[in-house]
Amino acid sequence: MFKIAVFASGRGSNFQSIIDAVNRGEVPAEVKVLLSDKENSGALKRAESEEIENIFINPEHFENQIEYEKEIINILEMAEIDLIVLAGYMRILSPLFVKKYKNKIINIHPSLLPAFKGLNAQKQALDYGVKYSGCTVHFVDEGMDTGPIILQAVVKVEEDDTVEDLAARILKEEHKIYPEAVKLIAENRIKLEGRKVKILKEEK
């Protein structure tokens, strides 16, 4: 069985969307472990209620990021993880960690990358005056939201949108395309050619 680890810092709604898709039999994978850097994160509570191994690792208990990530790597190796899914994980992974798991880490971002990278992407989009925004699932590389794009979903921006309005509509699309991306990878239907991601047809 294809095994995934989810890293989350917040409420864990994308994490839940993946769990639900797995439970419905839509994604041929097992959510093996949930790791969080926040002791009271909603994601930890969701994992506990789903009886998924959940681990809080306090970054402040380590001398530096390398030592912190060594602890994470130990857990991932023990669990024989095939894919790392970042779901609202608010820490930047070191280049060493990213290289170790090259093309095995994915993230979701609330904009149509490469536009509006980093924090507050929905506000950036509204401030810029775009007519369409959306979300992007991408592989993680050493840059900030710069990895190869796997899937995107488009969301129309309404004239009276607040940041909260737009964020809520984008989140609905995130909950659709993130499980789909995990499914494609678990089914070995993703082929990387440079920066381009090709999606292979489903075998009948």
Calculated CA dihedral for residues 198, 35, 31, 49, nearest 10 degrees: -140
Residue 148 belongs to domain with CATH number: 3.40.50.170
Q: What are the binding residues?
A: 12-14, 90-93, 107
Query: 28 lies in which domain range?
Result: 2-199
Residue list for the binding site for (6R)-10-formyltetrahydrofolate: 90-93, 107
95: cis peptide before it, omega within 30°? no
- Asked, for residue 163, whether it belongs to a domain, the answer is yes
Task: Give the whole-angstrom CA distance, residue 116 versus residue 128.
Answer: 9
Examine the residue annotation and report whether 109 is marked as an active-site residue of this protein: yes
Q: Does any domain span residue 151?
A: yes
Catalytic residue among 61, 109, 138, 175, which?
A: 109
In a domain, residue 45? The reply is yes
Question: Are β-strands 105-109 and 132-139 bridged in parallel, bridged antiparallel, or unpaired?
Answer: antiparallel
**SS3 state at 155:** strand
Domain count, the chain: 1
With respect to residue 74, please indicate whether it lies within any of the assigned structural domains. Answer: yes
Is residue 154 within 8 A of residue 135, CB to CB? The reply is no
Q: Does the residue 204 lie in any domain?
A: no
181 vs 199: CA distance, rounded Å: 10
CA distances (Å), 179 to each of 56, 102, 110, 124, 175, in order?
23, 20, 15, 26, 7
204 residues of the chain, pLDDT tens digit each: 999 999 999 999 999 999 999 999 999 999 999 999 999 999 999 999 999 999 999 999 999 999 999 999 999 999 999 999 999 999 999 999 999 999 999 999 999 999 999 999 999 999 999 999 999 999 999 999 999 999 999 999 999 999 999 999 999 999 999 999 999 999 999 999 999 999 999 876
